Amino acid sequence: MKRKPRVAFVCSSCGHASVRWMGRCPACEEWDAMLEEAVEEAVESGSRDATATGPVRLDEVPVDSASRLSTAWGELDRVLGGGLVPGSLVLLSGEPGMGKSTLLLSMADKVSPCEVLYVAGEESPRQIRMRADRLGVRSGGIHLLPETDVSRLEEAVDALEPDLVLIDSIQSMFSPDVPSGPGSVIQTRSCALVLHRLAKSREIPIVLVGHVTKDGSIAGPKVLEHAVDVVVHLEGDRHHAFRILRAVKNRFGSCSEIGVFEMRPAGLVEVANPSERFLSMRRGEVPGSVVICTVEGSRPVMLEMQALVSGPTYGTPQRTVTGFDQRRLQMLLAVLGRRANLNIADRDVFVNAVAGARVDEPAADAGVIAALASAASDRSVPADTVVLGEVGLGGELRSVSRVEQRLGEAARLGFRRAVVPSGGQETGDSGIEVCAVDDTAGLLRHLGLGHR
């Protein structure tokens, strides 16, 4: 097929292409995102993909429920939905230094005795061998391929016929048929589509490492996330040992599961009981410290929320938040002042989820309210108490899901009392004292944090 080169303008955010430059992308409405790229356009039509097939009845498609490839890591298999599905394309993203390459090499070792092709686009084989020695990797089934040409990768896959392909990273790969540099929007999109076809046609799971931009989103066109089957994000604080692997997209399982790992000198180690580890450094009854229970996928996780109220240091009060949504905090401060008569809007407020965790669930609202009131009044919440509930704009405490499972986890860790929203929700017989309250004012009175 003859091709002729042409020039197009492609959006660096969403991948939208245009024949002319525009200051604002018409698809994602991002300003100054249209970049000039050299592409190729087919001048002949009528060709068909060699892998294309005709329509097939749905009930005639063969399904093997036991065909998943286990990684031998319970936390990783939990996030993936039970293991790697043959023919799937998995994208692993994360900030630099989170341990993506370490996780990839450890995965290659744990799936032994399977044959694994490790494509190194950013490191030399010597560097990978040095990391393997540090991690104690001794598998003889790992084959290193220092290559960035995606066409040569296809040849290596046909020659080796591996059970798993690991690529570090997708931004380092390029296709010789696309006259553009590695990491560009068109190169990333073209390589992703080639790898997608390779995974589906060979029935081989392929795991890609993806870089992130300075705002935390995955680098490259949005079509990269659409092309893959699973997107997992490795997050955490580089100053903490804990790493959380979170499923962002999963066509083969739940998108709400997380896996917890701990970074040690010998590499990543899975944490089978994250609640105990997150609460291991808690000092007990300290003003501003409250324990909450969130549900991540199918597992309840106990966390400590901390708050500090002071100042103000400057003319404008500060709002510093780590691991919690800042806009949600602004709403809770307004509810606290309007519905509970505790106005701290003119003071500096700091909120922190310990151990580098990130809390997105509304069930943490009541715990944050209690932590703020505790810090403002300098009175502590009993150390054996867990607080649950979503807070509405009217100051009411709304019920949360799976209360019985949350209370069971709290009782297992030695908590004796739980404050939950009233409303007839099932609490079960967990052996823990349950105290039901209607609103934020009642919550503060029950915890002894109201006005003296």
Residue-wise pLDDT for 252-293, tens only, equals 988 888 899 999 888 899 998 889 888 888 887 899 999 999
Residue 239: per-residue pLDDT: 79
* Angle of the 100-110 helix axis to the 125-135 helix axis, nearest 10: 70
56-60, 85-89, 216-220, 365-369: least confidently modelled range = 216-220
Which of helix, strand or coil describes residue 410?
helix
Query: Cα 343 from chain centroid?
Result: 35
Contacts of 159 (CB under 8 A, 6+ apart): none
Give residue 1's pLDDT band: very low, low, confident or very high (50, 70, 90). very low
Say yes or no to pLDDT of 4 above 70.
Answer: no
The confidence score (pLDDT) of residue 66 equals 55
Q: What is the pLDDT of residue 426?
A: 67
- Split at pLDDT 50, 70, 90, the class of 43 is very low
Question: How far, in Å, CA of 325 to CA of 361, rounded?
Answer: 10
Instruction: Grade residue 53 by pLDDT with cuts at 50, 70 and 90.
Output: low
List the 3-11 sheet strands across, edge first.
17-18, 3-11, 34-42
Identify the band that residue 108 occupies on the pLDDT scale cut at 50, 70 and 90.
very high
Q: Report strand pairing: 385-387 vs 417-421.
A: parallel
Confidence of residue 16 (pLDDT cuts 50, 70, 90): confident
φ/ψ (deg, to 5) at 220: 105, -175
Q: Give the pLDDT band of residue 44 (cuts 50, 70, 90).
A: very low
* Percent of the chain predicted with pLDDT > 90: 58
β-bridge pairing 89-94 and 206-210? parallel
Cα–Cα nearest to 357, from 233, 240, 212, 232: 240
Q: What is the mean pLDDT of residues 102-114?
A: 89
Q: Could you give the dihedral angle defined by the CA atoms of residues 429, 432, 435 and 439, in that order, rounded to the nearest 10 degrees? A: -90
Six token digits for residue 222: 């949005």
Integer Cα distance of 414 and 425 in angstroms? 22
pLDDT in tens, 145-199: 999 999 999 999 999 999 999 999 899 999 988 888 888 888 888 999 999 999 9
| Residue 107, C-beta contacts closer than 8 angstroms, at least 6 positions apart | 71, 73, 76, 166, 207
Which pLDDT score, from 0 to 100, does residue 63 have? 72
At 65 the pLDDT is 58
- Which structure tokens are listed for 146? 């220092």
Distances (CA, A) of 181 to 37, 55, 93, 217: 9, 38, 21, 21
Query: What pLDDT score was predicted for residue 45?
Result: 39
- Per-residue model confidence (pLDDT) at position 39: 55
Least confident of 120-124, 303-307, 430-434: 430-434
Q: What is the pLDDT of residue 94?
A: 92
Instruction: Look at residue 241 and tell me whether its pLDDT is greater than 60.
Output: yes
Summarize the confidence of residues 39-46 as an average pLDDT.
44
Stretch 334-352: mean pLDDT: 93
Report pLDDT for 277: 86
Q: Which residues contact 423 (CB under 8 A, 6 or more apart)?
A: 398, 399, 436
Report the 10 Å Cβ neighbour count for 316.
9
Which residue did the predictor score with more confidence, 422 or 27?
422
Q: What distance in Å separates the CA atoms of residue 368 and residue 309, rounded to the nearest whole number?
A: 12
Q: State residue 61's pLDDT score.
A: 80
Average pLDDT over residues 44-55: 53
Residue given tokens 């709290």 in the structure block: 410
Binning the chain into helix, strand and coil, the percentages to the nearest 5 are 25, 30, 45
What does the alpha-carbon distance between residue 339 and residue 450 come to, in Å, rounded to a whole number?
12
Q: Give the pLDDT mean for 71-82.
A: 91
Q: Which of 36-45, 49-58, 371-380, 431-440 is predicted least confidently?
A: 36-45
Contact (Cβ atoms closer than 8 angstroms) between residue 186 and residue 224:
no
The pLDDT of residue 80 is 93
Bridge partners, residue 261, by sequence? 243, 270
pLDDT bin (cut points 50, 70, 90) of residue 424 is: low
Q: Helices (H), strands (E): how many in the chain?
A: 11, 21
Q: How far apart are CA 130 and CA 321, in angstroms?
A: 38
Element (H, E) at 301: strand 299-310
Q: Is 97 exposed, middle or buried (0-12, 13-18, 19+ CB in 10 A)?
A: exposed
- pLDDT at position 41: 47
Cβ burial of 269 (10 Å; 0-12, 13-18, 19+) is middle
Range from 7-21, 77-91, 108-122, 184-198 carrying the lowest mean pLDDT: 7-21
CA distance 309 to 248: 34
Q: What is the mean pLDDT of the chain?
A: 87
